[in-house]
Amino acid sequence: MKYIKIDENSKMIVDDNNYTLYYKIKDSKAKEGKNWRVGGYFPTMESLLNDWVTNAPANATEPPATLKEVVDVIKSAKKHIAKMLA
């Protein structure tokens, strides 16, 4: 199984008719090799990436503290995806 990196805290796997999103666990107590959790299963890459952008504030390295920061994290996530797909 080969992972495709989205960013330093997320990756995906492409299977037959399925795209699986993974997020790095932020807990320092995570066991070696068990430091990723499934973020969801998706029928298309588009639906996976839309979910990744939508949940970017919840999975940000620094949790946003204001509405402006939430918007900035989402805008940054959208730019990151556009850059990856270009």
Q: What is the pLDDT of residue 28?
A: 66
Q: What is the pLDDT of residue 29?
A: 63
0.75 cut: is pTM over it? Answer: yes
DSSP for 14-42 reads EETTEEEEEEE---TTPPTT--EEEEEEE
Residues 22, 28, 30, 33, CA torsion sign: positive
Each domain of the chain, given as residue ranges in start order, spans: 4-85
Measured in degrees and rounded to the nearest 5, phi and psi for residue 18 equal: -155, 140
Quickly state the pLDDT bin for 78 (edges 50, 70, 90).
very high
